[in-house]
A and B are shown apart, each in its own frame.
Chain A
Amino acid sequence: MLNFLGKRAVASGISLVGLILLVFFLSRLTGDPTGLYLPLDASEESRNQFRAIHGLDKPLFVQFLNYMGDLIRLDFGESIRRSEPAIDVVLRGFAWTLQLALITMSLVVVLAITLGSLAAYHVGGVFDRIATFFSLVGASAPDFWVAIVAIVVFSVTLGWVPTSGTGTVWHWILPISVLFIRPFGLILQIVRGSMINALGSAYVKTARAKGIKNRPIIFVHALRNALLPVITVIGDQAAALLNGAVVVETIFGFPGVGKLMIDSILQRDFTVVLAAIMVTAMAIFLMNILIDILYSILDPRIRY
C-alpha cells in the first residue's frame, strides 16, 4: 500500500506541475490585466508602473521561472485584485467550499444509498416509482432556477430561512438543499441500477435460501458488491463540488472557491487562478487516493 501511495503521490506531483504549466500560459493568453485595474484614463507611465509592480513587464518565460522559484518557497504570489497573498484568498474560499461539499455529500451518500437500495428491493413498486420520479427530476433540474424558486418560496413568502449569506445554521439550509438535489438524483439512480443487478445474483439467492433476513441481505451482502460503481460516481460528484458550486455560491452569496475562480479568471488575477487550481487539484488528488483505498476495502480482489 505504501508503495502504491508513493507512486500516486509522484504521479499527482507530475500532473500538478503539468497543470501549473498549462494554466500559467493559458491564463496569460487572456491578455494584460493592466487595463482592468487602472482607470480608463490612466497614463502610460501608470500602466508601465503597474506592470513593473506585478512583474508583468518581463518576458513570459522569465515570469514563469520567477513564479516557480517563488512556489518552491511556498510563495503563491499576491492577488492583484485584493492586494493580499493569493493563497490566503484561496484558502479562505476553499474552507467554505469544503464545508459545503462535505455536508452536502454526506447527506447525499446516506440518503441516496439508503433510498436507492430500498427502491431496488421494491423494484416496480410505488416506492420505486416515486423515488425514480423525484431522482430524475432532481438530476435534471437547473441549479439557478431551483435556487431562485427556493428563495422566493421559503424565504420571501414563508420566511422560514434567510435568502442568502452566512452566519447562522439557517443560512446553510437553502444552499445545501439546492446542491443536494442533483447528485442525490444521479447517485440514487446508480445505486438502484447497481443494486437490482446485485439483488438478482446467485449469492443473494443463496443467502435468502439460508434464511438471512432482508435488511442484512440488502445492506450487507448486496450493497457491498453494488458500491464500486457508486463510489466512482460519488467521487465525480464530490470533485465537482470541490471545484466550487459556482451557481449556488453566486446566488446565495457563499464566498467559496468556485465563484472566486470564475471572478479571478474574468479579472485576470493570475496568481489567484493558479493558487485556486493548485488547491482544488490537491484536494481532488487526495480524494482519488481515498477512493482507491475504498475500492480495495470493498473488493478484496483489488490489491495495490
Chain B
Amino acid sequence: MNRKTPLVAMSLLASTLAFGAHAQSNSVTVVLSEELEIVEPCSATKSNVGRVLFQNISETVTEMDPTTGLQPRLAESWEDVGNGTWRFKLREGVTFSDGSAMDAEDVAHSLVRMKSEAIACEIGAKFFGGIEITSNIVDAHTIDVTANPAQPILPMLMSTVTVTPSTTPLDKFVDHPIGTGPYTFDEYARGQHIKLSANPSYWGDQPTVQSATYVFRADSAVRAAMVAAGEADIAPNIALQDARDPAMDFSYPNSETVFLRLEHAYAPLDDRRVREALNLAVDREAFVGTILANGTLLATGITPPSTIGYDHDLKPYAYDPERAKALLAEAKADGVPVDTEITLIGRINNFANVLETMEALHAMYQDVGFNMKLEMVEVAEWLERYAKPFPADRGPEIIEAQHDNANGDPVFSMYFKYHSEGQQSGLTDPKVDALIAEATAATGEARAAKWSELFGYIHEEVIADVMLFHMVGFSRVNDRLDFAPTIRTNSELQLSQIEFK
C-alpha cells in the first residue's frame, strides 16, 4: 500500500458518510421540479419560489387558509375604516432575521415595492393590477391601507403581500431574502441546492423541522426515485405514472383548472350554437382514470369548487355528439361558416399528459365534424397567443390553458379571464363586465351570490369557453414524515407544518 492509498480510502469513506447522512432526524430534503430563477419574496406567488419562501422566510400580513378562512399572520386584526381604507394592527415583538424590528414602515415599504415598475413583482402585477394602493402609518404597529378603486376583499389581498425590511431596494430583486418567518435563508448554491434553517428569534412557536434543503430535478421519475431511495423527503409534484406507491404517494386537488378559451371575435366561434357543440363534443368522463388521474373533477367554472360563490348546481356538459352535430348543421343552415378551420392550441408540458389530452380533444372535435388543426407550442409562443395584445389576424383559435386559484375567491380570476379589458379574456360582454364589478364590490353572502350568478351566466347562457377539469396533483412523501399535501401544496410548502412520526 503506498502513501496515497489511505488518503483515497478516507476520501471515499467521507463521501460515503456524506451520501448516507441525508436523513437527519430533524431536517428535511425537498426535491423541486425546477431551479428557482430568483429568490424574491415579492414574487413568492410563483409556485416554485413560493414553496421555498412563502411563510417559511417571508410572511404575509394576513393568511388565507382554505379550510378556516382568513387568519391573522403579521397583522393581529383589521377593520374597515371606510372610503376604501382598511386599518391593520400589526403584531408586536416581531423581528426580521437580520435582527431589525418589523413595524408599519416595513409593511408600507413592501406595498410600494410590490408595485415598483423597476422590478415588476409577480404579486403586485397579479393581485393588485389596476388597483392603486396607498398607505398611512398611524403608529409603529398600525397602518391604514387604501385601495383605489375600493377593494372589499383588501384583507384577503393582503394575504399575498410578503413583508420585507424597509431597507430592501425598490429597483432590484434580492438574492438573499430577509423575512420574519420561522426559517432563515442560509445558502443558495446555484444549480445545486438551497438551504434554510430554523430562525431562533421567530415570534411564534419553534418548528419541529430545524433545517431544510431544496434540490432540483427536472425529471418526475427521478424526483419520485429520490424519495423512494430516502434521499429526499418530499417531492411536491410528480407525474401520474410515477405515483404508484400508495404508502408514499398522495393525490389532492391542486387548485388548477384546465379549460379551452374560445376566441369569440372570430366566426364560427362567435356563434353560441357552435360553442355549445364544442362543449357537447367532449367526452370528459373518458379522460378520468385513463390519461388523467382518478379523482380529477369535471369543471363548470374556472376556479376550484372550494372558492366562494362556486355554483355547485351547475352541471358539466354531457357527452352528446349527435346533438353537437345537429347544432353545427343548424348553424350552417343559418349561414355560419362552421367549415372554417379552427386552430386548437395546446401548451407543451403544461400538465402531465397534456399532449394526449389535446390529441383526444382534437379527435373528438373532428368526429363531430369540426375542421380543426392541433398545434402544440412552447410556453413563449403560447403566451403570445393567450394574453393581450393578441396577434393580428389570428383567426378562430381555441387555446388550452390551466388556471391556478388557491386563494379562495374568484376575484383573482374573473377579471383577467372574462372582463372585456381582461388581459387573457376572449370575451366582450357588458353583462359579464357588470357582474364582475358588482361581485368585486360586494361582501359576505351577496358577494357569493353575485359570483354564483356570474358562473351560471358564463357557463350556461354565454357558453364562454369549454370547461374541462379540476386537476389532481401528486406528491410523494417519505413515510418518516407526518405531513399530508393539500390544495396549498401547489403554491406553498410550510415547513413549520411538517412533523416527524
Contact = CB atoms under 8 A, between A and B. Distances in A.
A80 B117 CA distance: 16
A73 B18 CA distance: 43
- For the side of the interface on A, what is the size category? 35 or more
A159 B230 CA distance: 9
Interface in A4-36: 30-31, 33, 35-36
A50 B429 CA distance: 32
Interface in A195-252: 250-252
Given A151-B222, A152-B225, A170 B19 contact: yes
| Residue of B173, B216, B383 with highest tally of chain A CB at under 10 A | B383
Given A40-B423, A148-B221, A163-B231, A83 B190 contact: no
Contact of A31 (B231, B384, B423): B384
B378 to A, nearest CB: 6
Contacts of B12: 169
Interface stretch (B122-130, B331-339, B366-374): B122-130
Interface string A83-114: 11000010011001000000000000000000
A165 interface: yes
B215 interface: yes
B173 A253 contact: no
B8 to A, nearest CB: 10
A43 B380 contact: no
B245 to A, nearest CB: 11
B231 A162 contact: yes
A49 B117 contact: yes
A35 B383 contact: yes
B37 to A, nearest CB: 5
Contacts of B190: 82, 89, 92, 255
Contacts of B221: 148, 151
Contacts of B226: 163-164
A7 to B, nearest CB: 38
A253 B216 contact: yes
B422 to A, nearest CB: 9
A219 B378 CA distance: 52
A1 interface: no
A36 B219 contact: no
A276 to B, nearest CB: 13
A253 B218 CA distance: 7
Contacts of B65: none
B497 interface: no
A300 interface: no
| Residue of B11, B172, B222, B379 with highest tally of chain A CB at under 10 A | B222
Contact of A45 (B117, B172, B378): B117
Given A50-B120, A83-B175, A164 B217 contact: yes
A33 B379 CA distance: 11
Contact of B229 (A36, A84, A155): A155
Given A31-B381, A40-B423, A159-B229, A251 B222 contact: yes
A88 B219 CA distance: 26
A135 B215 CA distance: 35
Contacts of A161: 19
B319 interface: no
Interface in B217-269: 217-219, 221-222, 225-226, 228-229, 231
B117 A46 contact: yes
Interface string A135-164: 000000000000010011001100101111
| Residue of A35, A81, A164, A250 with highest tally of chain B CB at under 10 A | A164
Nearest to A169: B15
Contacts of A35: 380, 383-384, 387
A148 B18 CA distance: 23
Contacts of B217: 164-165, 251, 253
A168 B231 contact: no
Interface string A167-196: 111110000000000000000000000000
B491 interface: no
B416 A40 contact: yes
Interface in B25-42: 35, 37-38
Contact of B122 (A39, A156, A167, A251): A39
A253 B225 CA distance: 13
Contacts of B117: 45-46, 49
Nearest to A148: B221
A290 interface: no
A40 B12 CA distance: 50
Contacts of B225: 151-152, 155-156, 163
A60 interface: no
Given A31-B381, A42-B120, A81-B37, A253 B222 contact: yes
Nearest to A171: B19
Contacts of A130: none
Contacts of A46: 117, 120, 125
Contact of B15 (A36, A156, A170): A170
Contact of B222 (A84, A163, A168, A259): A163
| Residue of A46, A148, A165 with highest tally of chain B CB at under 10 A | A165
Contacts of B129: 39, 41-43
B388 to A, nearest CB: 9
A38 interface: yes
Contacts of A266: 378-380
17 contacts: A31-B384, A39-B129, A40-B387, A43-B125, A43-B130, A82-B37, A82-B190, A83-B175, A84-B175, A96-B191, A163-B225, A163-B226, A164-B222, A164-B231, A253-B222, A266-B379, A266-B380
Interface of B: 11-12, 15-16, 18-19, 35, 37-38, 117-118, 120, 122, 125-126, 129-130, 172-173, 175, 190-192, 215-219, 221-222, 225-226, 228-229, 231, 378-381, 383-384, 386-387, 416, 423-424
Given A46-B125, A151-B225, A253-B215, 7 more contacts: A30-B380, A40-B424, A41-B129, A43-B130, A83-B175, A250-B218, A266-B380
Across the A-B interface, the 6 shortest Cβ-Cβ residue pairs: A255-B191, A168-B15, A39-B125, A35-B383, A42-B125, A169-B15
